[in-house]
């Protein structure tokens, strides 16, 4: 059984090797003697794409479109799949509610997609509108619109398609993580294992040659899926923001990182009397691939609409801000401290807790001017600062939950202000947090404290159910947005230089 840190190291090695071969992979057809030559189906995998344009020089949907077109011209049959999370979150999505992503992916030639947890960020009606605007096939086996009793947005639970001699089924499974049923009562998302158990027998009766499951699940859930259903040939997954390839029993699991910085190419070939062969390549999306003009025109038109207002300078940053997802979801960072401090300042509370997964951008922000665009990129969701009155034992429960998945990365990891504590990931569940202090004084489990949290956590998001029933001092209808709180905090100081202060000490 492989651990995620080892998988990450293996993925990095694969990425480095792929980068060295980027230009040939992007520009040349296969040697006729290559093992994957003649495969009737080539899957191009994307997942967790939040930007239509390159991020730090990598990615860009216009380049991805060029890759697909080149493969088509080389006689390959590419099928582009997207494993969820693309309508949100980004600066542009905050403004356009994901409309720009639909337009760019339509132009790039996306073929099949499933829903990720961030597809639900703008509510039911916006999601349904975006799904209707898409020209690709949606597959969602575990998401139902309660009002119709049918899959969300007219999606199919699965589709069966034929590529030459290969008959392939694609089943879609969406994430339950971060989904708040009370916030979206129109929809029901059932457990993915249960949905797979329902539909896989139907798929087997279709006499397919290969079963592909398009998921937006955690790696642990994908692993459980592969262990429970060994007939699955390939899991094309999302949710984690770094490349992963693993084989569980005979099932290949692939995740291609985020923001289209890589595309996973997976060729499927079945020879008589043998299981399906799967040939894998991780292709870096760099400037070695020129923009497809048609897709670039669509992308640039939306970028032009963002307006000059986003480029207004709010303040100046004197130190690099550590904003990579990996760090924010496993440890204290100076950007996490900054956001939590801004939330606590806006609420004037004793303490603040922000889920690390809610801080976006997935990069280190260099020293220099901080524009409204950058601050919106850091927190693009529109979440609101709420203030609670809670006994100390609730703060303990929240922190225990926040660190419960260490050493794995998890969006629930807490970035805090007004709090300091120690964590022992090896301790038993519920006993990992110690030496907890509030405002430099030992926490009293029975004392009431004011605690500021995003309304997403107030509603139980990322599993923070311990706040239910606690006294709300400032609710979502009255608090500022997190983006506004962050802008006010930076603008009020003009210059910032946050440092990691040791608020969260994690035992090695």
Euclidean distance between CA atoms 490 and 394, whole angstroms: 30
Q: What is the pLDDT of residue 300?
A: 95
In this predicted model, which residue has the larger pLDDT, 123 or 78? 78
- pTM for this predicted structure: 0.76
Local confidence band at 183 (pLDDT 50, 70, 90 cut-offs): low
Q: What is the pLDDT of residue 419?
A: 98
Whether 42-304 and 307-506 share one fold: the answer is: no
Q: In the CATH scheme, what is the homologous superfamily, with its name and number, of domain 42-304?
A: Metallo-dependent phosphatases (3.60.21.10)
Tens digit of each residue's pLDDT (9 = 90 or more) over 212-253? 999 999 999 999 999 999 999 999 999 988 899 999 999 999
Q: Cβ neighbours of residue 250 under 8 Å, at least 6 residues apart? A: 230, 233, 275
Q: What are phi and psi of 173, to 5 degrees?
A: -135, 125
Tens digit of each residue's pLDDT (9 = 90 or more) over 385-433? 999 999 999 999 999 999 999 999 999 999 999 999 999 999 999 999 9
Buried/exposed 331-364: b ≥16 CB within 10 Å, e otherwise? bbbbbbbbbbbbbbbbbebbbbbbbbbbbbbbee
Tens digit of each residue's pLDDT (9 = 90 or more) over 343-381? 999 999 999 999 999 999 899 999 999 998 899 889 888
Q: Mean pLDDT check: name the lowest of 23-37, 41-55, 218-232, 410-424.
A: 23-37
Tens digit of each residue's pLDDT (9 = 90 or more) over 297-349? 999 999 998 877 788 899 999 999 999 999 999 999 999 999 999 999 999 99
Torsional class of 134: left (φ above 0), alpha (ψ -120 to 50), beta (otherwise) = beta
Domain boundaries, the chain: 42-304, 307-506
What's the chain's average pLDDT? Answer: 91
Four-residue CA torsion sign, 22, 26, 28, 33: positive
Four-residue CA torsion sign, 96, 97, 102, 104: positive
- What average pLDDT does range 181-201 have in this prediction? 89
CATH number of 307-506: 3.90.780.10
Four-residue CA torsion sign, 378, 244, 3, 192: positive
Tens digit of each residue's pLDDT (9 = 90 or more) over 484-497? 899 999 999 999 99
Contact between 78 and 71 (Cβ < 8 Å):
yes
Give yes or no for a cis peptide into 229 (omega within 30° of 0): no
Inform me whether the pLDDT recorded for 453 exceeds 90.
yes
């Amino acid at each position: 059984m492989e651990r995620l840190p080892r998988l990450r190291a293996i993925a990095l090695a694969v990425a480095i090797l792929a980068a060295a071969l980027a230009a040939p992979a992007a520009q040349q057809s296969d040697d006729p003697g290559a093992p994957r030559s003649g495969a009737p189906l080539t899957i191009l995998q994307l997942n967790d794409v939040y930007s239509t344009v390159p991020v730090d020089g990598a990615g860009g949907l216009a380049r991805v479109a060029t890759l697909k077109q080149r493969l088509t011209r080389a006689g390959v049959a590419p099928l582009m799949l997207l494993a969820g999370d693309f309508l949100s979150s980004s600066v542009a999505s905050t403004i356009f509610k994901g409309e720009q992503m639909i337009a760019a992916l339509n132009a790039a030639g996306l073929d099949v997609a499933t829903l990720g947890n961030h597809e639900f960020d703008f509510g039911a009606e916006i999601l349904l509108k975006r799904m209707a605007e898409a020209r690709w096939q949606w597959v969602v086996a575990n998401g139902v619109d309660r009002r119709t009793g049918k899959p969300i947005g007219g999606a199919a639970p699965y589709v069966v398609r034929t590529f030459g001699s290969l008959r392939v089924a694609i089943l879609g499974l969406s994430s339950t993580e971060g989904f708040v049923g009370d916030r979206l009562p129109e929809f029901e998302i059932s457990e993915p294992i249960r949905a797979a158990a329902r539909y896989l027998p139907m798929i087997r009766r279709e006499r397919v040659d290969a079963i592909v499951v398009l998921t937006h699940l955690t790696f642990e859930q994908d692993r459980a899926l592969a262990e429970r259903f060994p007939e699955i040939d390939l899991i094309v997954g999302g949710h984690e923001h770094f490349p992963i390839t693993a084989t569980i029993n005979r099932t290949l699991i692939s995740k291609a990182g985020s923001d289209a910085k890589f595309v996973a190419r997976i060729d499927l070939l079945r020879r008589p009397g043998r299981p399906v062969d799967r040939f894998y390549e991780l292709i870096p999306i760099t400037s070695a691939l020129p923009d497809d003009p048609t897709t670039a025109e669509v992308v640039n038109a939306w970028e032009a609409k963002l307006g000059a207002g986003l480029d207004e300078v709010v303040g100046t940053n004197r130190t690099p801000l550590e904003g990579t997802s990996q760090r924010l979801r496993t440890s204290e960072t100076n950007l996490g401290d900054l956001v939590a401090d801004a939330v606590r300042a806006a609420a004037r509370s004793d303490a603040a807790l922000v889920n690390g997964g809610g801080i976006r951008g997935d990069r280190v922000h260099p020293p220099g001017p901080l524009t409204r665009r950058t601050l919106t990129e850091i927190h693009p969701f529109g979440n609101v600062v709420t203030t609670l009155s809670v006994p100390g034992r609730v703060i303990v429960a929240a922190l225990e939950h926040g660190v419960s998945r260490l050493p794995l990365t998890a969006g629930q990891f807490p970035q805090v202000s007004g709090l300091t504590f120690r964590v022992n990931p090896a301790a038993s569940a519920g006993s990992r947090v110690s030496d907890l202090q509030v405002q430099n004084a030992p926490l009293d489990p029975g004392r009431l404290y004011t605690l500021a949290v995003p309304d997403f956590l107030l509603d139980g998001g990322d599993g923070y159910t311990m706040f239910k029933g606690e006294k709300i001092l400032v609710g979502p209808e009255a608090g500022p947005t997190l983006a506004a709180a962050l802008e006010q905090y930076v603008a009020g100081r003009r210059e910032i230089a946050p440092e990691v202060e040791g608020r969260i000490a994690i035992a090695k």
